Amino acid sequence: MIRKIFIAFVTISSFSAVQAQTTQERPGADLIVINAKIFTGNRGQAEASAVAVKKGRIYSVGSDVDILGLKNSTTKVIDARSRRLIPGIIDAHTHVLNDMAYNYNVRWDGVPTLRKALTMLSEQAQRTPEGQWVKVIGGWSPYQFEENRFPTLGELHEAVPDRPMIVQYAYNRAFLNKQAMEALGVGTGRFPTLPDTEFERDSRGNPTGVVHGYTWLFLALESMVPQPTFDEEVSSLIYSIHGLNRFGVTSIIDNGGRWPYPEAQERVGVLARDNRLNVRMPFVDLQLGDGGPVNMVDLEVEAITKTAPISPGQNLHPTLAHGHEYRGAGEVLSGEVHDHENFDRPAVIIEPEKMRRFVEQDVTKLVQRRIPFRIHVSYDENISPFLDALEKVNETTPLDGLKWSLEHAETINPENIDRVKKLGGGIALDAKMALHGDGFIKTHGREKALETPRLRKLVDSGMPLAMTTDAFRAATFNPWVGISWMVSGKSVSGSEILAKDNRLSRTEALKLFTNGAAWFMNTESEMGVIAPGYLADFVVLDRDYFTVSEDQIKSISSVLTIMDGEVVFGAQDYSALSPKLPEILPAWSPLKYFGSYHGEN
């Protein structure tokens, strides 16, 4: 009798265990998307019509019939309705954490006419409370406007008569009204003294309100205007990411800003703890210090070894793969060798000896500690001495697979492309020529512009290569503007700025924003391709990228963005699937009325 009871107990226990295991490990997919035109990026299976997702990864890719066979009673099925589906876009160089005041800004990204842009300013001026500024900070170009010009000071004063106003064009120039100049102390000792800052002046020698300069000037200006609260910074982070999701961006590398590690990461941590970070967001850290000359590499080592110890590749997100990983130092590693990228001015050329000392004394510290690094260097004249010095460092302190990259590298020559590849580095290009190429032509000439950058040579070299936006100030965060330029050779004005033999096919251009960019995240075997085992990041587009006319490419956006197997953005047929966002802060935010990109609201 006791033996029978024991056997019955074991049988019941085993059945219960199997039942529990079945409940936990239920076969079948969590999500299935069918009836899609899937560009997989996988040479072994170039196209398919359906994809299945399980536990945040791609489970299977194939025909509708085959994939629907993986459906169970809890599987969510989405019909793509014959739309194009692509891997999630990876922006390997952007600056989300540099724009904690994102919600304070009127975004002119994509606005087709200057008339409309000025109307937006006028409307926002009436809503902006006393004590706050009316701001347009980057993301636009005068060449995108039908009028093909900058606003005049008279037009700006008329649009914003009674609030301080700053309209900033990339890191090139800013327009200030009278109230802004008074608040900043223009013409007095209160205004920061920075090299290469130039005010336009009237016939009596008084500043007009147009100021030209480089990066440091505009970072200083931003620190002098009203700052958002912590909650407003978190809200800005939410809505800047929402803007990225709208264009199908599922992963970014934040490339540093004026808020260093670990301070900036506190805002991301708020979203990570609540599982509300809707983009994978590895970061590169930039330590500017508290003002004055500093050794930025020493500050970086101090921050990651003593202030808040962290190792390269360590993920601060508790659950999301590659959610908020530390990916190393950069993009600025020394203020003395930063060559900016103001195409309205001649190239900034660094003394070769100064570059050599920087590499030997400071970059060596990063190599010795196996800290990945990125360096902003735009012009070939500065790339050559950098590589000269890095090759010598490599002889005694081998890079030996350490990930490093040149950022921007607009005018790199073929010889230096080969040298970067030999040293195991990558190049993260950017699409600023799409917005600012017309200005580049005025400064450097049309012939130079047609080969800037050398896209064909770079792609054919086979080296690690990504195209990026460098948003939100230097350029727009919309990757499709850059993809359009790579394919058509035209800037936002319609001007030809890439030679025909220097353009890319649609497949090549898209790969620079997908699996090409994955190298920079150290995720080549997990991201940028729609294949079993890869992370479930993909996008359903509002029009077919591979068949629309070239002039429509820059207008492409997402109707469904999936990140980690979850819907993070939905529009049109899929609006009901989009996660509900919290109320925009502050209540007077321009985003509440205009959205983050033209046509959103």
63 lies in some domain: no
Q: In this structure, are 338 and 214 located in the same domain?
A: no
308 lies in some domain: no
In the predicted structure, residue 24 carries a pLDDT above the cut 80: no
What is the domain extent for residue 147? 101-227
Mean pLDDT, residues 451-459 taken together: 98
295 lies in some domain: no
**Mean pLDDT in the chain?**
95
Q: Point out the domain boundary residue: 478, 504, 530.
A: 504
Please provide residue 212's backbone torsions phi and psi, each rounded to the nearest 5 degrees.
-110, 150
Q: pLDDT tens digit string along 105-154? A: 999 999 999 999 999 999 999 999 999 999 999 999 999 999 999 999 99
444 lies in some domain: yes
pLDDT, position 47: 87
Sign of CA dihedral 500, 506, 510, 515: negative
126 lies in some domain: yes
Q: In this structure, are 336 and 221 located in the same domain?
A: no
- Do the bridges between strand 249-254 and strand 89-94 make them parallel or antiparallel, or are there none, so unpaired? parallel
Q: In this structure, are 338 and 455 located in the same domain?
A: yes
Q: What is the percent of the chain with per-residue pLDDT over 90, rounded to a whole number?
A: 93
Q: pLDDT tens digit string along 539-579? A: 999 999 999 999 999 999 999 999 999 999 999 999 999 99
Q: Point out the domain boundary residue: 469, 485, 504.
A: 504
Contact 176, 527 (CB under 8 A): no
Tokens representing 307 are 């202030």
217 lies in some domain: yes
Confidence of residue 18 (pLDDT cuts 50, 70, 90): very low
pLDDT, position 27: 84
pLDDT, position 320: 98
Q: Is 364 helix (H, G, I), strand (E, B) or coil?
A: helix
Total structural domains in the chain? 2
Q: pLDDT tens digit string along 315-331? A: 999 999 999 999 999 99
Mean pLDDT, residues 211-233 taken together: 96
Residue 268 buriedness (CB in 10 A; 0-12 / 13-18 / 19+)? buried
Instruction: Pick the range with the lowest mean pLDDT from 82-91, 291-300, 507-516.
Output: 291-300
Question: Using CA atoms, how far apart are residues 273 and 447, in angstroms rounded to an integer?
Answer: 51
In the predicted structure, residue 364 carries a pLDDT above the cut 60: yes
In the predicted structure, residue 60 carries a pLDDT above the cut 50: yes
Q: In this structure, are 341 and 476 located in the same domain?
A: yes
pLDDT, position 25: 60
Q: In this structure, are 456 and 335 located in the same domain?
A: yes
Question: Which residues, in sequence order, are bridge partners of residue 538?
Answer: 87, 562
Which tops the pLDDT comparison, 265 or 290?
Answer: 265
Residues 6+ apart with CB under 8 A from 176: 165, 166, 184, 186, 209, 210, 211
Residues 6+ apart with CB under 8 A from 311: 304, 326
Confidence of residue 203 (pLDDT cuts 50, 70, 90): very high
Q: What is the pTM of this model?
A: 0.95
Q: Point out the domain boundary residue: 167, 195, 227.
A: 227
247 lies in some domain: no
Residue 349 belongs to a domain with what CATH number?
3.20.20.140
